[in-house]
Structures are given as C-alpha cells and as structure tokens.
C-alpha cells in the first residue's frame, strides 16, 4: 500500500468510526493576499466534541470556518464534513449540505423587521418544515434558550444577549449535527457572554458537535475544552484541555 493509499484508508476509517470533520492537508490561497490564509492544515474532530479555534487576527480562523461552510473550496487538500467531500459538492447540493450545520455570528444577522418567533421560524421555512411541526419546534427551542416569553418581541428591541440567543435558537431549530460559532460573545458584556457559553456547553452535552472561534482567553481558559491554536495559516498546537496563550 502506498503512502497516499494509507492516508486515504486512515481518513476513511476515521470518518466511518466517529469523525464528523476532517481537513486533509488543506491550503487556501487568495492570490491578492500573497501568503496563504490556510497552509497544510490537517484537523480531525469527532462527533460530540467541543473545540475552540483561537489565534490572532489573520491566523486563518475565519477562512477555516468558510471552508467548513463550503463558502470557499480549498486550493489544496480536501475538507470532509459529515462524510461529504465539500470539493465534490455541486452548487445545487450546497443548501442541503448546510442543513447539517448551524451557524452563529458575532453580529447576530437577524431579520430586523420580524419578531423573535419569525426569525427562528425562517430557518424552518427554508427547508419546508410543515406549519404544524414548526409550531412545535420554534417554541421548544425558544424555551431552551430562555426566550419563551419573548416570542412576539421585535428583535430590534432586545438586548445584545437576547439577540444572540435568538440567533442561537435559529441555528439550532433544525437540529444540526454541527454548530459553528464565529466570535459568538464578541459583542456581549461578560455576564451575557457566559450565558451564551453555558448554552453552547449544554447543547454540546446533548450531542451536538460545537466549534467556536473566539478571541477570549478568559472563556477558553475557564472552560477546559479542546483548543486548536492557529498562527499565520497553520495549526501550531492542538490540546485536549488547552489554554489560549497570547503571544507578543
């Protein structure tokens, strides 16, 4: 068996047994930027893991999330998510692929002209969930994130912490296998930030794989989860109970 065949066999075994995310020697070059945004990254994440991705600005964290979402295709290597090679997805297959992914952003990205219920229900309408089922699912997920009593509220009148809870409910209502969170506490005060992280930990305990990009050493160092550190597009450390160490 050649080296390439051995790598493929190991990759296939990982995906078949318990792997949900596998980056295989992945690089991403943007011609206009010169240096690669991601360089020779190999990363394995098992089902049910909670993983922090940390690093300074420009380290490649955001590009990594875009690769997982299939917003971009790597210039080298392969990205496997839930057993699918994102490089081989046709454009028409991408919406269905993303149904297994919940995404939470720092800036919430809510529909400002709609209330809380409608923002969460929007995610269900996209995948054509029947109305009767939607009327069960949306209140249930709002109760989980502590917003059962605010389903009629316009999101513009909510606090930052409440808006992030709406965004989290929207990301979870379709029961994704993976939750990707890009700086989910970046615009929140410390109390609200911890509330969101507690919710993410609870979601993870229920079996959802959680990947969080963050700049917060306090949160990372307190939660004692797996920490993947990136620098200049490369993974420089990967520890099961790691710390976020700022480098001068």
| Cβ(73)–Cβ(126) below 8 Å | no
Over residues 101-142, the pLDDT tens digits come to 999 988 888 999 999 999 999 999 999 999 999 999 999 999
Residue ranges of domains in the chain? 111-175
Closest by CA position to 182, among listed 114, 77, 104, 99: 104
Per-residue pLDDT of the chain (248 residues; tens, 9 = 90+): 776 676 677 777 777 777 899 999 999 998 777 778 999 999 999 999 999 999 998 899 999 999 999 999 999 999 999 989 999 999 999 999 998 999 998 888 899 999 999 999 999 999 999 999 999 999 999 999 999 999 999 999 999 999 999 999 999 999 999 999 999 998 899 999 999 999 999 999 999 999 999 988 999 999 999 999 999 999 999 999 888 876 54
Site of tokens 């409910």: 169
23 pairs with which residues across the strands? 43, 79
Phi-psi map region of 207: left, alpha, beta (phi>0 left; psi -120 to 50 alpha):
left
DSSP letter at 90 equals -
Question: What's the predicted TM-score (pTM) here?
Answer: 0.90
| Tokens describing residue 189 | 């005060």
28 pairs with which residues across the strands? 38
| Cβ(230)–Cβ(238) below 8 Å | no
| Cβ(204)–Cβ(235) below 8 Å | no
The helix (run of H) or strand (run of E) holding residue 84 is: strand 84-85
């Amino acid at each position: 068996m050649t080296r390439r065949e051995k790598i493929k066999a190991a990759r296939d075994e990982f995906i078949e047994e318990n792997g949900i995310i596998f980056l295989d020697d992945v690089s991403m070059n943007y011609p206009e930027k010169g240096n690669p945004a991601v360089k020779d990254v190999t990363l394995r994440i098992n089902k049910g893991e909670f993983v922090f991705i940390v690093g300074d600005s420009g380290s490649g964290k955001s590009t990594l999330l875009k690769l997982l979402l299939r917003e971009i295709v790597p210039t080298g290597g392969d990205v496997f998510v839930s057993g699918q090679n994102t490089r081989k997805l046709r454009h028409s297959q991408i919406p269905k692929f993303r149904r297994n992914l919940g995404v939470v952003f720092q800036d919430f990205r809510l529909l400002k002209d709609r209330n809380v219920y409608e923002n969460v229900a929007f995610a269900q309408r996209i995948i054509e969930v029947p109305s009767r089922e939607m009327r069960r699912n949306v209140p249930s997920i709002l109760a989980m994130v502590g917003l059962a009593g605010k389903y009629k509220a316009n999101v513009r009148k909510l606090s930052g912490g409440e808006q992030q809870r709406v965004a989290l409910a929207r990301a979870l209502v379709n029961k994704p296998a993976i939750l990707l969170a890009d700086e989910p506490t970046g615009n929140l005060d410390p109390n609200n930030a911890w509330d969101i992280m507690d919710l993410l930990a609870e979601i993870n305990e229920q079996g959802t794989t959680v990947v969080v990009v963050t700049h917060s050493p306090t949160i990372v160092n307190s939660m004692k989860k797996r920490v993947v550190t990136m620098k200049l597009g490369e993974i420089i450390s990967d520890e099961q109970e790691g710390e976020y160490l700022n480098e001068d």
